[in-house]
A and B are shown apart, each in its own frame.
Chain A
């Protein structure tokens, strides 16, 4: 259990490293599930009465910091542990790990994506909003990668508790995704200018929908427009 010094190679391992990797892995998954759920609440304009919208946004940002910290610990303990050979490079370059190549690769992909999301969010005021949003969409993909990685690499996903955790997190995120789409707000640029949302309170016969426009009634007699 003590660190063994070899002539050329520093080998360092301990079961506690491994436990930390596993534990932080699970915590990271739970935290990111929370982050995604909060992000969905922000996108769907929840809040304003009991809890403020900006508060949910701040919550989303704060939890993501904690989640990143746990993710970092998870990653560092993995590469520090030489019991299984995953080099430093394998956390960012997929398919370079000796141990559980595919599983770690998927984790690496997820890590790359979430780092991109993280860095772009840190620089949010400096980059164009369009670019930030484009990168932010990849957080969904990063989560999928995390789930697959958990299933493929995870030690604890072999037992019931672990599987349950992964399933619950997946359900929360899938639910968030579905609700994100179903309850999406009517946006100006979503070409919903003439949606019923925009008409007056009393329903009028002239309730235009985006489906069809009756062409305007008879134009003036015999006149050409030009």
Chain B
């Protein structure tokens, strides 16, 4: 039994190897009988940990109301964000907690199958999951059948409609949904798609109940969240923090630069946050008014010697290449943003015009894709223009900062893949 106000929760009891089923049952033994898991889930106020922070109970309720002979639960462990390693850490420590949560969700909606999806470039995570699934098969009889799937590693492949599209038609392309929320379907069966960390939290709620869950975190954002911290620090770290912890404390816990220039929060589709706001609480209520969000639990620390414009340009260039190229505004707009940013970073050509074009293009592209990929990039660019305003002015006036020509970069952007190498199937 874990105490209500003790960390870690999701990462509890882990060591170098993932917990076996026996160890897992020991570490998370519960003497409480949770009567109605769905009621507990609703009372807990758990929101999705995949980035959108949608109330989990509401999603489950929507699926419960669906008619259908069969329903599926999809566990999204894709982790398309390059700066995020929390799903990997979770699966390397306690895959059984994730599967517990998935089984509870399956029971709540009456699903007969659980599809766990991990990106295929991750042999370690795939291995851990396979082992965990085998262990469960061999032990007690479970109602829902668990299957492991390995879609290609693409940024948008973790988007829930792209994931379902892949399970249906073997193509990791996001789908157009004219009204949201729409229920995604695999074949004709409604599917509940939830992030792996969310499932892990459901697993905890199922054992310990809503009151225990609310023992940490804030009233509006209860519970804990996994945070991947990268950038200006010795090693990339994954921490489990109670929501509402001040950012400064999180940075200190990760041994990050204590006087950064700015933080990138949420992921590559998130926002920059200036250093003036370091004492803000790490939850959506505090971050949203500042134009930021918890998002996918990503924090990238940019030191004073770095250049925010350069880092943004690197991210946008990569994000442009990760476009599914289904919609014109994204397929053409993102590369245009990237090239305008490149002009500003390297101070080439008419920088004032480039700046103006950047603003106009952001307004033009926003909200016009089938998925929110272009919206995220626009959000990132707008936040960069806001947070790095003084530096931006210097670049426009042809006096770029020293950081913009430095070979050291802080945001972990993968190298670009050629068109022909991109795999969508």
Touching chains A and B, CB distance < 8 Å: yes
Cα of A210 to Cα of B320 in the assembled complex, Å: 13
A84 interface contact, C-beta 8 A: no
Cα of A122 to Cα of B35 in the assembled complex, Å: 59
CB neighbours (8 Å) of A193 from chain B are 320-321, 323, 325, 331-332, 334-335
Query: 0/1 per residue, B300-342, Cβ < 8 Å to A?
Result: 0000000000000010011011010111101111111011101
Q: Which residue of A lies closest to B83 (CB)?
A: A225
Known: A204-B349, A224-B236. A188 touches B354 (CB 8 A): no
CB neighbours (8 Å) of A218 from chain B are 407-409
B17 interface contact, C-beta 8 A: no
A226 interface contact, C-beta 8 A: yes
A:174-226 near B, CB below 8 Å = 188-194, 197-200, 202-208, 210-213, 215-221, 223-226
Q: Which residue of B lies closest to A211 (CB)?
A: B418
Cα of A221 to Cα of B230 in the assembled complex, Å: 13
B414 interface contact, C-beta 8 A: yes
B:326-383 near A, CB below 8 Å = 326-328, 330-336, 338-340, 342-343, 346, 348-350, 353-354, 357
Cα of A204 to Cα of B332 in the assembled complex, Å: 16
**Number of chain A residues close to chain B: CB under 8 A:** 33
CB neighbours (8 Å) of A188 from chain B are 325-328, 330-332
Nearest Cβ distance between residue A222 and chain B, in whole angstroms?
9
CB neighbours (8 Å) of B335 from chain A are 193-194, 198-199, 208
Q: Which residue of B lies closest to A224 (CB)?
A: B236
Q: Which residue of A lies closest to B88 (CB)?
A: A226
Cα of A210 to Cα of B412 in the assembled complex, Å: 23
Cα of A189 to Cα of B370 in the assembled complex, Å: 13
Nearest Cβ distance between residue B90 and chain A, in whole angstroms?
13
CB neighbours (8 Å) of B25 from chain A are none
B82 contacts A225, CB within 8 Å? Answer: yes
A202, A205, A220: which contacts B409 (Cβ < 8 A)?
Answer: A220
A197, A203, A216, A220: which contacts B332 (Cβ < 8 A)?
Answer: A197
Query: 0/1 per residue, B231-262, Cβ < 8 Å to A?
Result: 00001100000000000000000000000000
Cα of A194 to Cα of B330 in the assembled complex, Å: 11
B108 interface contact, C-beta 8 A: no
CB neighbours (8 Å) of A191 from chain B are 325, 419
Known: A188-B327, A198-B335, A200-B339. A216 touches B354 (CB 8 A): no
Query: 0/1 per residue, B269-305, Cβ < 8 Å to A?
Result: 0000000000000000000000000000000000000
Known: A188-B326, A200-B336, A225-B412. A217 touches B407 (CB 8 A): yes
Cα of A141 to Cα of B270 in the assembled complex, Å: 50
CB neighbours (8 Å) of B330 from chain A are 188
Known: A188-B328, A216-B416. A206 touches B408 (CB 8 A): no
Nearest Cβ distance between residue A81 and chain B, in whole angstroms?
51
Cα of A199 to Cα of B339 in the assembled complex, Å: 6
B333, B338, B346, B415: which contacts A205 (Cβ < 8 A)?
Answer: B346
A194, A206, A215: which contacts B415 (Cβ < 8 A)?
Answer: A215
CB neighbours (8 Å) of B320 from chain A are 193-194
Nearest Cβ distance between residue A64 and chain B, in whole angstroms?
28
Cα of A190 to Cα of B332 in the assembled complex, Å: 11
B415 contacts A204, CB within 8 Å? Answer: no
B417 interface contact, C-beta 8 A: yes
B339 contacts A216, CB within 8 Å? Answer: no
Most buried by A among B314, B335, B354, B418: B335
B413 interface contact, C-beta 8 A: yes
A189 contacts B325, CB within 8 Å? Answer: yes
Cα of A199 to Cα of B357 in the assembled complex, Å: 11
Cα of A223 to Cα of B339 in the assembled complex, Å: 28
Nearest Cβ distance between residue A194 and chain B, in whole angstroms?
5
Cα of A211 to Cα of B417 in the assembled complex, Å: 10
Given A200-B336, A216-B409, 6 extra CB contacts under 8 A: A191-B325, A199-B335, A199-B339, A205-B346, A213-B417, A219-B409
A-B pairs, 8 with minimum CB distance? A188-B331, A202-B349, A215-B415, A213-B416, A206-B342, A198-B335, A193-B331, A199-B339
Question: What is the interface of chain A, defined by CB distance below 8 A to chain B?
Answer: 188-194, 197-200, 202-208, 210-213, 215-221, 223-226
Give 21 A-B contacts (CB < 8 Å), ordered by A residue.
A188-B331, A191-B325, A192-B325, A193-B334, A194-B320, A197-B332, A200-B340, A200-B354, A202-B349, A204-B343, A204-B348, A204-B349, A206-B346, A207-B339, A213-B321, A216-B415, A216-B416, A220-B412, A224-B236, A225-B85, A226-B88
